[in-house]
A and B are shown apart, each in its own frame.
Chain A
Amino acid sequence: MSATAVERPARVPDGMRRELAGRVGRAAWRAGRAELRKNLANPGGLVVSGLFLLVVAGMLAALWSAAAEANGGAVAGYTAAALVWYVTISEITTISQRMQFIDELGDDIGSGRVETALLRPVPMVVLLWAAQVGGALPRLAACCLGGLPLAAVIAGAPPSWPAAALAIPATLLAVTINITGQHVFAAAAFWLRNARATWFVYQKLVFVLGGMLLPLEVLPDWLESIAQWLPFMAMAYVPARLAAGYVEPELLFVQAFWLVALATIAIIVFARGERRLVEAGA
């Protein structure tokens, strides 16, 4: 056998590739389902999520209603009712997240605890991602149960029903994109050994450039232009703008783009980080 033939990696047959993909998919499904059940088994935690959403959304709704009142009934084209729906949905997509996951994963990587996860025959990033998505779904439901009636009481029905219908898939996509983005940022810990600073920075980028605290149109023009080109807008602004009554289905395509882009980046940086961990040790 020649040296060239030994160095070249063997081509994985298509059938085996499909089987491997199937195994990874099944493992991810189980990880997501297990985390979902774990969260459902803790109704106290879900109630707290719903109550916290009520507090934050109620507060921001009061702030923006006062702002609209002080500004002749609207801010940057959003009426008071539209702003209430905007902040409610932007808060729902954000509070249903556990962004300290970035910090926790950073601790696991820095301390070397993550090495046991590397022994599994499934990419670590896939299992982590699936578990986070599974865990977020009950929290998302709890936040919707708290937030949607609140917005309806304060502002009445959504400003546009077709836009509200678009906001449903956009909210699910926003939660998924946010979780994917968290994995990209958490991977910094493979190099920095700690992700606390990363977590804070990420959270604040979602708050301001993601449009969680305020619609992007309220930002100065130059900052709005930058924010519109970053993935954070797909995590809060898109579903919130749809819920505020703007029928813009093209925003769902923007979200799909960012989901694919961030997932690709997450897979690549985790693969490199894991290789670094295996070669250099924790």
Chain B
Amino acid sequence: MNTLRGLRRTWFGAIANSWANRRSFWSQAAVMILNDLIWVVFWVIFFDRLGEVRGWELRDVLVLQAILATGAGITLGFFNNSRQLGRLIAEGQLDEALALPVPALPYLLVRRIEPINIGDVAFGVAVFAVMGEPTPLRTLAFVAAVAISAITLGAFLVLAGSTAFLGGRSDGSELGFHSVVLFASYPVDVFGGAMKILLFTMIPAGFITAIPTRFVRDLEIELAMAAAGVAILLVALAALAFRAGLRRYTSGALWTAA
């Protein structure tokens, strides 16, 4: 109970900190909305020229973009250190978290808010509301899809970040982040056999957008169950990897190097 209270206060503190400079908060969120809008323009141009590609139409891709923007916006906006974990480990900056009476990984995840990604959340919700043909059932499916997408992405980022415990570099974590977000932005069916396998294993982009998008489109509960199972498995793997990696952690503080 004390742990949860500590984490909640840390999280609220991070939110208050980012909200303190409201002008900066809104301007950064607006920049991200503009950024996301360019992708929508790209897909509109693409499907305007081609109509349909391997079973994907503009409407499907826009739902995919809405799920990705909202899910990634939640993970990167409200739990931003999931992306920074590799750098924090490589630079030996976990000391402060390790000295606290709350678990280090959840504390690190809630410690930093990134306003620029909150713009993604607003954008994703707006795209679904305007172009996702929302009905009560579809909206419910969208909420579930976003939750699965956000959890899967967050867990993958922690796993990728934990690779920094092995080599002492954050390059792998950065590459993992860019790869998963990029692959998740595209309809999975444009990729061939081996690549498709990769997108449902090593880089789980298929579980972050493709499966949740199909769930919203076809409302097949089995798809949501499968994706939720993968999300839970990844969370467990991420927690284990971080815990195992901590044994190899070296502080970056000068006094420990003296």
Contacts and interface: CB of A to CB of B under 8 A. Distances in A.
* A and B: bona fide binding partners: yes
Interface of A: 44-45, 47-48, 51-52, 55-56, 58-59, 62-63, 65-67, 70-71, 75-76, 196-197, 200-201, 204, 207-208, 213-214, 218-220
Contact of B53 (A45, A47, A55, A70): A70
Contacts of B10: none
Contacts of A52: 175, 178-179
Interface residues of B, number: 32
Interface SS majority for chain B: helix
Interface in B199-240: none
B47 to A, nearest CB: 10
A220 B174 CA distance: 35
A38 B195 CA distance: 35
B28 interface: yes
A63 B190 contact: yes
A208 B39 CA distance: 9
Interface string B11-43: 000000000000000011001101100100110
A70 B31 contact: no
Interface in B140-180: 169, 171, 174-175, 178-179
Contact of B174 (A48, A66, A208): A48
A204 B182 contact: no
Contact of B182 (A56, A67, A219): A56
B38 A204 contact: yes
B171 A200 contact: no
A6 to B, nearest CB: 47
Interface in B30-83: 31-32, 34-35, 38, 41-42, 45-46, 48-54
Contacts of A55: 175, 178-179, 182-183
Contacts of B38: 204, 207-208
Contact of B34 (A62, A70, A76, A201): A201
A48 B189 CA distance: 26
Nearest to B189: A66
B249 interface: no
A204 B174 contact: no
A217 B54 CA distance: 22
16 contacts: A48-B171, A52-B175, A55-B175, A55-B179, A58-B195, A59-B182, A59-B191, A62-B190, A62-B192, A70-B50, A196-B31, A200-B34, A204-B34, A207-B42, A218-B46, A220-B48
Contacts of A196: 28, 31
A86 to B, nearest CB: 14
A214 B45 contact: yes
Report, nearest first, the 10 A-B pairs whose CB atoms are least far apart. A66-B190, A204-B38, A48-B171, A70-B53, A63-B190, A197-B31, A62-B191, A55-B179, A200-B31, A62-B190
Interface centre among B31, B34, B42, B49, by most chain A C-beta atoms within 10 angstroms, is: B49
A240 to B, nearest CB: 16
Contacts of A71: 49-50
A214 B50 contact: no
A220 B169 CA distance: 44
A63 to B, nearest CB: 5
A204 B45 CA distance: 15
A55 B175 CA distance: 9
A36 to B, nearest CB: 20
Given A63-B190, A67-B50, A197-B27, A44 B42 contact: no
Given A52-B175, A196-B28, A201-B34, A44 B169 contact: yes
A150 to B, nearest CB: 12
Contact of B45 (A45, A66, A200, A219): A219
Contacts of A208: 38, 41-42
Contacts of B186: 59, 63
Nearest to A196: B31
Nearest to B180: A55
B195 A62 contact: yes
Contacts of A201: 34
A202 to B, nearest CB: 11
Contact of B171 (A45, A56, A58, A59): A45
A214 B35 contact: no
Contact of A66 (B32, B34, B54, B169): B54
Interface in B91-129: none
A65 B53 CA distance: 10
Contact of A214 (B31, B46, B174, B191): B46
A213 B171 contact: no
A45 B190 CA distance: 29
